[in-house]
Amino acid sequence: MKKNIFLLAALIGLGMGTTHAQVQKGSVLIKNATVLTITKGNLESSDVLVQNGIITQVGKNLTAPTGISTIDATGKYLMPGIIDAHSHVGLDVVNEASAPITAEIRMKDVVNPYEIGIYRALAGGVTISHAMHGSANVIGGQNATLKHRWGSKDPADIIMQDAPRTIKFALGENPTRVHGRGNGIQPRSRMGVEAVIRNGFNEALQYKKAWENYTLAKTQKGNTSTPPTYNERLQTLVDILDGKIIIHCHSYRADEIYMLINVVKDFNIKKLVFQHTNEGFKVAPEIAEYTMGASVFADWWAYKMEVYYSTAYNAAILQKNGALTSINSDSAELIRHLYHEAAKTQRYGGLTDEEALAMITINPAKQLGIEDKVGSIEVGKQADLAIFEGHPLSAYAVPQMTFVDGIKYFDRNSDQLDQRQWVAATEMVEPIHLRANEEAHRCMQDVDAYFEAFQGAFFSEKH
């Protein structure tokens, strides 16, 4: 189909650039669904018209313009595509664990559109994932927001190019273990973590000043000032200070969450989201007051010391305190049933359907800065949609079809046994064994390899 579009473009002479394959946009009319708009209530037996990747009409008895196919969703639920605010799917590298600050690292450099996890996420109704750097460093790399356009070969085609920049921070045990215990450098303690962040921002301020001075002097006659060293690590911190990048910070304990709130206040940084945030319930009002909220697990804890004091009521408590809250996966397995994870907030905390679904749609969209484009079913928004058999919060929910920009990338009826995009010519085909205990989460990926040369035994937990 893609080929045909290319041919057509060539014939008409549109001069469609082959270097930057255009992202595909589709048109479709979905009829008679129970439409869960998230922001504008539920609409019974309603239709959603998508034209060229954008939702153009939501209502009853819509007719498809010529050339636009219709999908009958009678008895089914239509919801906005699920958004996962914490994922490592589709990345060839997760941790550049070699320095406490690696803000210059770009996850966009290492996006792998062939990874099967993307298709599996689509099969769980997930259309957008936040592909994050890992948590080995206090300030890790810049993340990529991915649109799950399965089948794309160019990494640029699955990156949501109109999403704002975000960056990974990490507090607590991971960075202190990797750098302090592992390498004998700062940070060795939670205090060290704070010092690394503060020193980083202060250095960034000096860096900014140095370049401002140079740029100004350059225009003067008889200038003798020479260019400062280029440092993308510090420039990225400058961009955070300038409000161009949203911080997404891996955190567990209430004290360190509150610490970071104070640090960003001191540096007048407004864009901050906490990730994991297991003790967020202790500082929910503070999170609500100053940050863009928290993205948490539904019920996952006790995998290391700092994650023992946890509760499944965390999301509900945060929500009731007015903190913007989302439920994330951080896992190639959980990402396939985030709707189920969201439903847990109803069992633990009694959230309404709308509140629970918001935690995997509009709320994560807000935390990623893309709520004007996705996260709800509204006219003018990008047509990232999921059709469910059964209400998505029901234990019997089964995703049927998933659309990104109006293009159907998953259909349960045409799901193949082997959905891989790429197979190596040298693959030795071995019998497939189902394994239990497979490591599902990748927050500390690449860290083992980084340390195995001279140590390693103490890396038993990963988050």
Closer to other proteins by CB, 300 or 451: give it: 451
Instruction: Tell the smallest beta-carbon distance from residue 223 to other proteins (Å).
Output: 8
The SS3 assignment for 121 reads helix
Q: Applying CB under 8 A, does 92 fall inside the site for other proteins?
A: yes
Binder of other proteins out of 63, 213, 215, 223 (CB under 8 A) = 223
Closer to other proteins by CB, 104 or 354: give it: 104
Instruction: Tell the smallest beta-carbon distance from residue 429 to other proteins (Å).
Output: 5
Binder of other proteins out of 1, 395, 453, 457 (CB under 8 A) = 453
For the segment 61-90, give every residue that binds other proteins (CB under 8 A): none
Closer to other proteins by CB, 228 or 390: give it: 228
CA 452 to centroid of chain Cα atoms: 29
Angle subtended by helix axes 190-218 and 254-266, to nearest 10: 20
Taking the CB of residue 70, how many other CB atoms lie within 10 A of it? Answer: 15
Per-residue contact string for residues 25-44; x = within reach of other proteins by CB under 8 A: --------------------
**How many helices (DSSP H) and strands (DSSP E) are in the chain?**
14, 17
Q: Applying CB under 8 A, does 195 fall inside the site for other proteins?
A: no
Q: Applying CB under 8 A, does 11 fall inside the site for other proteins?
A: no
Backbone angles phi, psi at 433, to 5 degrees: -115, 135
Instruction: Tell the smallest beta-carbon distance from residue 73 to other proteins (Å).
Output: 31
Maximum Cα interatomic distance, the chain, rounded to a whole number of Å? 76
Q: Where does this chain touch other proteins (CB under 8 A) — which range of 189-197, 265-273, 369-377, 421-429?
A: 421-429
Closer to other proteins by CB, 17 or 41: give it: 17
Instruction: Tell the smallest beta-carbon distance from residue 407 to other proteins (Å).
Output: 19
CA distance 185 to 196: 11
- Name the residue with tokens 């940050």: 291
Q: Applying CB under 8 A, does 417 fall inside the site for other proteins?
A: yes
Q: Fill in the DSSP letter of residue 176.
A: I
**Token digits of residue 385:** 């949609």
Q: Applying CB under 8 A, does 226 fall inside the site for other proteins?
A: yes
Q: Applying CB under 8 A, does 119 fall inside the site for other proteins?
A: no
CA distance 325 to 317: 10
Exposure string of 332-346, with b = 16+ CB inside 10 Å and e = fewer, is bebbbbbbbbbbbbe
Q: Applying CB under 8 A, does 275 fall inside the site for other proteins?
A: no
Q: Applying CB under 8 A, does 4 fall inside the site for other proteins?
A: no
Instruction: Tell the smallest beta-carbon distance from residue 456 to other proteins (Å).
Output: 11
Backbone angles phi, psi at 252, to 5 degrees: -130, -50
Instruction: Tell the smallest beta-carbon distance from residue 20 to other proteins (Å).
Output: 9
Burial status of residue 7 (CB atoms within 10 A of its CB: 0-12, 13-18, 19 or more): exposed
Peptide bond into 399 cis (omega under 30): no
Taking the CB of residue 438, how many other CB atoms lie within 10 A of it? Answer: 8
> Under the rule (CB under 8 A), what is the footprint of other proteins?
17-19, 92-93, 95-100, 102, 104-107, 109-110, 112, 114, 141, 153-156, 179, 183, 185, 222-224, 226-227, 229-232, 417-418, 420, 422-429, 431-432, 446, 449-451, 453-454
